[in-house]
Amino acid sequence: MNSETQAAAEIVSYEPATGEEVWRGTPGNVDETVDRARRAWPAWAAQTLATRIELVRRFANEVRKEAENLATMIARETGKPLWEARTEVESVVNKVEISIRAYAERTAQRKLDSALQGTAAVRHKPHGVMAVLGPYNFPAHLPNGHIVPALIAGNAIVFKPSEKTPATGHLLAQCFHRAGISAAVVQVLIGGPEEGQALVAHDGVDGVLFTGSAHAGIAINRKLASNPGKIVALEMGGNNPIVIWDTPKINDAAVIVAQSAFTSAGQRCTAARRMIVKASMYDAVVEEVKRIADRIIVGAPFDEPAPFMGPVIDNRTANGLTESFVYLLTNGGKAIKHMVRTQESLPFLSPAIIDVTGMDERPDVELFGPLLQIVKVDDFDEAIAEANNTRFGLSASLVGGSPQDYNRFWANIRAGVVNWNRPTNGASSAAPFGGIGLSGNHRPSAYYAADYCAYPVASTEVEQPRASIGVGLRSD
């Protein structure tokens, strides 16, 4: 292989905030990585549950020791503010105890004794080798949300981090290894889409745990449609609504909207993409949301004072978002706050707000960035219909309204996360997390991750064989 080919094959991550190189490496060999995991899996699965739990608790301690380095790397590779990267590291640590509790509750061993029928038992077995495909927006927390429950259940892991955040993936894996979990049981596979596709399709992989775009998730689902033996869990984002209804607390409502739409520069699968607001409240709420958006500090991760949001992940993403804003504007949208590229060569974007009420056809896509669309409605039925006017179904919030309004909202909204007077994002790891439609395939993660990391085995057991046939036999 000549030097030019070698360079072309390398995976390189860059700091969104500076454009500087963070990490460089060559793609891994999928066959060798999966083979190594298959050889390591039986010994890991044979460990007692108590041993596996002890080792993941040691992992949590290793992350605590490495917390500042890991947060710094997350901030560098994603561009998110350091304060936010630190909260991500805290989530990685907290996930361990949550997963231990979830495994005990969701996959506990159960026995029912009967004197004549013996014992009826339900136990769980690991699937084998699990492929974990991580996203760039939470490059430690989200893949960790698959890895830890899968390890507790007794699976071996092949983790392919996003090609945009490979260094964070490496640091995370090193914490597992330093905790005493074999480097063959938790492996990092560096690569891009080609390696990801090969990993998904590999015969030696027993399950695929994916977090990312609907486009990629649908491709995985299609690829594995003829292979029902491979467990697949897809978490694919959303076109999430936040409905603003009757409330005198305009500032609080606007703050919740800003948190929902602009935290992490809008790069959260649960971010509010659409604000649906009662017509009589429109002027006051929109004015306050814009006032808050105008105050938001956009900056680099380590800036002082600390920014509320950093850049989006890269220039290609920034270009796509600005083009999307222009598309909405030229097809009937009314700009409330323009999207501004604050630095020409770097992917810093200002928060943007656009009223799309007058558009004949509003695109049902996930615009993954700080772009909030507004729709004005006259009554609550129209608000619910507009909120459900999407193929996605991840998260939705009602801000304001009465308890009766919220009951109607909860009962009729199509989403896996439904909140009242809270942001659309910031879901708890102690609850199930997943959506419907293009947001997932009914395999919710977080607290319910235990469900797809092991399969139930039903048994009836008697110590000595005892049987008779009471009807339908000729006499001796």
Residue from 255, 292, 260, 305 nearest 81 by CA: 305
Distances, alpha carbon 399 to alpha carbons 97, 232, 328, in Å: 32, 34, 25
- Please answer whether residues 15 and 315 qualify as being in contact, where contact means their C-beta atoms are separated by less than 8 angstroms: no
| DSSP states along 337-381 | E---BSSTTS--B--EEEE-TT-SS-------SSEEEEEEESSHH
In the set 175, 269, 366, 386, the catalytic residue is 269
140 CA to centre of own chain = 11
What is the token pair recorded at 309? 């949001």
Residue from 297, 322, 314, 316 nearest 19 by CA: 314
361 CA to centre of own chain = 29
In the set 62, 84, 235, 288, the catalytic residue is 235
Triad 98, 99, 102: Cα angle to 5°: 90
Strand partners, 354: 335, 373
Distances, alpha carbon 402 to alpha carbons 125, 201, 241, in Å: 46, 49, 18
Is 235 one of the annotated active-site residues of the chain?
yes
Euclidean distance between the first and the last CA atom of the chain, given in angstroms as a whole number: 80
Whole-angstrom distance, CA of residue 91 vs CA of residue 229: 32
Backbone phi and psi for residue 10, each to the nearest 5 degrees, phi listed first:
-70, 150
Whole-angstrom distance, CA of residue 330 vs CA of residue 200: 40
Is 453 one of the annotated active-site residues of the chain?
no
- Known catalytic residues? 235, 269
